[in-house]
Amino acid sequence: VTTLLILLPLGAALVVWLLPLNRVSAGSLALLAALAEVGAWIQMLVRYDFARGGLQFSDRRSWFSDLDVSYHVGVYGFSVWLVGLTVIVMAATIAYAFWAGRERTRAYMGLMLFLTGSIVGVFAAQDLLLFYAFFEAMLIPLYVLVGVWGGPGRMGATLKFVLYTMAGSLLMLAAVVVYGLSENTFDLVKIGESSSQWIFLGFVAAFAIKAPLFPLHGWLPDAYRESSPEVAAVLSGVVSKAAAYGFLRIAVAKFPEPAHDFRAPILALAAVGLIYGSLLAFRAPDLRGVIAYSSLAQMGLITMGVFAVNDLGLDGSVLQMVNHGLISATLFLLAGMVERRALTGELGRLGGMARGRPALATVLMTTGVIALAVPLSSAFAGEFLILAGVFQRGWGWAVVGAVAIVLAAMYVLRLISAVLHREIGPAVSDAALDLRPAELGVTVPLVACLLALSVWPAAITQHAFRGDHGAADVAAQFK
């Protein structure tokens, strides 16, 4: 199933690129492939044996036997959820792109499908070189998607994005090579733990850029602002989770000693990012700016959970990865829908959109209150667990997190009231419609997933790691 999940979108991408399809058929084919991918994932979810845990649906073919490099894929309990997040968000974004209509549909859809395959590959790869290959393969379509279909400032945004991620990738490549050669294998399951601080820092730097963590987020505001809304949704919803996954799967699991030694500085960076992102989100002048900086804050929080390295923190961060992926994807899509109507995302020119647009108001309000982690929402469950986890590493971290909860309430409410409430803004015309059925069809399933998780967050937290005490002993998880 794992290989199918990787190859299905890649194959579909080839088909979309090669066949001379018209706009509608290319779009429908892509959407069909994305939905089939969701179907395949559901199949995987049902068949994965959570009671047993560990690596399942694995597939291994030797690639270069002398270096012990292989095509090795498979999923753990928590990767099942991340793959699920990927396929669901990608299906929603492809559907939205199809509906909104992008220039050169075939190229666009092909790239989105290629992106889907590579992200699933990142979450499933069990070989360092393969992981690296998928990680890079994921970035290429993103460069093109931002650089060709972005807004007016897209070239600058792409340049920054390329430079930052390239720097990270080179560091990671070096780390991968040194690590693999010194252990005589590149297989992530077999490879031994290492205590090398330099290799650890190489990986951490790469993931910290991708996440991004403060202060390595220079590419973030432009990339999230200039790309089309669905690409921004993928970037902040899914691609950033690849970095968090990397922290969990490689940095923490394979480098227990350095992870322990560097815990305080990494937690500090994450905490600074959490507060910094929240404050900037509170003053950001436009819709996407608020969501982008809140995304920075959330990644800081997730990173704190991972580096707490205890049951609560890890369970919470996996849950929060899925939550935040769904939330920020929905918010970016909604931002796109608002911008489509008002032709601007400036908060000062919006307002009063709730009147006569009940569907938009309901969806945005629901997503917003989940985003600010109102208790009883799944985001609350995730944040609560993460902070309970870092509390055990020092109460100060949790106090910082609690301050951020209050700030989150401030910036989300500011966003909601600036768009929906107060007097009608100059950019909002009476002719601006409520959400169309197609737009509801894209956003409502995402919100429904969030509501379902709110009713039962334990669906993820009980089914992410093996057994009751598994998560804290991270290394044992991956035997």
Partner 1 sequence: MIYGAWICLLSPLAAAVLITLAGERISRRTAGYAATLSCFVAFAGALASFISLLGRDGGDRSVVSTAWTWISGGSYRSGLELIVDPLSVFMMLVVAGVGALIVGYSIGYMDGDAEERRYFAYMALFVFSMLLLVQGGNLLLLLAGWGMVGLSSYLLIGFWHERPSAIAAAKKAFVMNAIGDATMALAFFLLIQKANSLEFGILGGEYSSTVANLVALGLLGGAVAKSAQIPLHTWLPDAMEGPTPVSALIHAATMVTAGVYLIVRTHPIFEQAPHVADLAAGLGAATLLVAGVIALVQVDIKRVIAYSTMSQIGYMFLGVGLGSYANGMFHLMTHAFFKALLFMAAGIVIHALAAEQDIRKMGGLRTVMPRTYWAFLIGSLALVGIFPFAGFFSKDSILAAAMDHGTYGYILWVAGLAGTFLTGLYTFRLFFVVFWGEPSAYVREHFHALRRDVVGVSMASTVGVLAVLSVIGGWIQFAPWWHPVETWLQTVAEPVVSPESWQEWVSIALSLLLGLSGIAVAWLLYGARRFEVPRWAFAQRTFERKFYFDELYDALFYAPSVFAAALLRRGVEEPLIAESASDLGSDTRDLGGLVARAQTGLLRTYALAIASSVAVLAIVFVAVK
Residue 403 is a binding residue for partner 1 (CB under 8 A): yes
| Contacts with 87 (C-beta within 8 Å, 6 or more apart), sequence order | 5, 34, 37, 38, 40, 41, 116, 120
Map residue 301 onto helix, strand or coil. Answer: helix
Nearer to partner 1 by Cβ, of 101 and 467: the residue is 467
What the block records as the tokens of 189 is 């399951």
Burial profile 366-399: b = 16 or more Cβ within 10 angstroms, e = fewer: bbbbbbbbeeebbbbbbbbbbbbbbbebeeebbe
**Binds partner 1 (CB under 8 A): choice among 123, 219, 247, 332:** 219
Nearer to partner 1 by Cβ, of 163 and 343: the residue is 163
| Number of residues near partner 1 (by CB under 8 A) | 67
Residue 407 is a binding residue for partner 1 (CB under 8 A): yes
Residue 457 is a binding residue for partner 1 (CB under 8 A): yes
Report the candidate in 270, 301, 221, 282 with the shortest Cα–Cα distance to residue 407.
Answer: 282
Residue spans of beta strands (DSSP E) within 180-284: none
First to last CA, the chain: 21
What the block records as the tokens of 440 is 């509801």
Is the backbone of residue 261 left (phi > 0), alpha (psi -120 to 50) or beta?
Answer: alpha
Binding mask 312-351 vs partner 1 (x if CB under 8 A, - otherwise)? xx-xx-----------------------------------
Helix 358-371 / helix 437-455 crossing angle, nearest 10 deg: 30
Residue 268 is a binding residue for partner 1 (CB under 8 A): no
Shortest distance (Å) from residue 374 CB to partner 1: 5
**Binds partner 1 (CB under 8 A): choice among 37, 127, 187, 222:** 222
Report the candidate in 310, 294, 287, 289 with the shortest Cα–Cα distance to residue 398.
Answer: 310
Shortest distance (Å) from residue 410 CB to partner 1: 6
Residue 358 is a binding residue for partner 1 (CB under 8 A): yes
CA distance linking residue 177 with residue 312, whole number of Å: 33
Residues 122-161 that bind partner 1 (CB under 8 A): 156, 159-160
Residue 387 is a binding residue for partner 1 (CB under 8 A): yes
CA distance linking residue 461 with residue 56, whole number of Å: 18
What the block records as the tokens of 375 is 């208790």
CA distance linking residue 294 with residue 372, whole number of Å: 10
Torsion of CA 208, 212, 215, 221, to 10 degrees: 160
Look at the chain and count its residues.
479
DSSP element (H, E) containing 412: helix 395-420
Residue 476 is a binding residue for partner 1 (CB under 8 A): no
Which range touches partner 1 (CB under 8 A), out of 139-147, 245-253, 408-416, 442-450?
A: 408-416
**Binds partner 1 (CB under 8 A): choice among 391, 427, 439, 477:** 391
| Contacts with 182 (C-beta within 8 Å, 6 or more apart), sequence order | 194, 196
What the block records as the tokens of 172 is 């990671």
Q: In one letter, which amino acid is 7? A: L
Which range touches partner 1 (CB under 8 A), out of 29-37, 85-93, 140-148, 309-317?
A: 309-317
* Cα 449 to chain centroid, rounded: 15
Which range touches partner 1 (CB under 8 A), out of 8-16, 82-90, 258-266, 385-393?
A: 385-393
Nearer to partner 1 by Cβ, of 244 and 353: the residue is 353
Which range touches partner 1 (CB under 8 A), out of 13-21, 125-133, 188-196, 279-287?
A: 279-287
Which range touches partner 1 (CB under 8 A), out of 13-21, 87-95, 176-184, 466-474?
A: 466-474
Shortest distance (Å) from residue 315 CB to partner 1: 4
Shortest distance (Å) from residue 189 CB to partner 1: 23
CB-CB contact of 8 with 90 (8 Å)? no
Residue 440 is a binding residue for partner 1 (CB under 8 A): no
Binding site residues, partner 1, CB under 8 A: 156, 159-160, 163-164, 215, 217-219, 221-222, 276, 279-280, 282-283, 310-313, 315-316, 352, 354-355, 358, 362, 369, 374-376, 380-381, 384-385, 387-389, 391-392, 395, 398-399, 402-403, 405-407, 409-410, 413-414, 417, 420-423, 455-458, 461-462, 468-469, 471-472
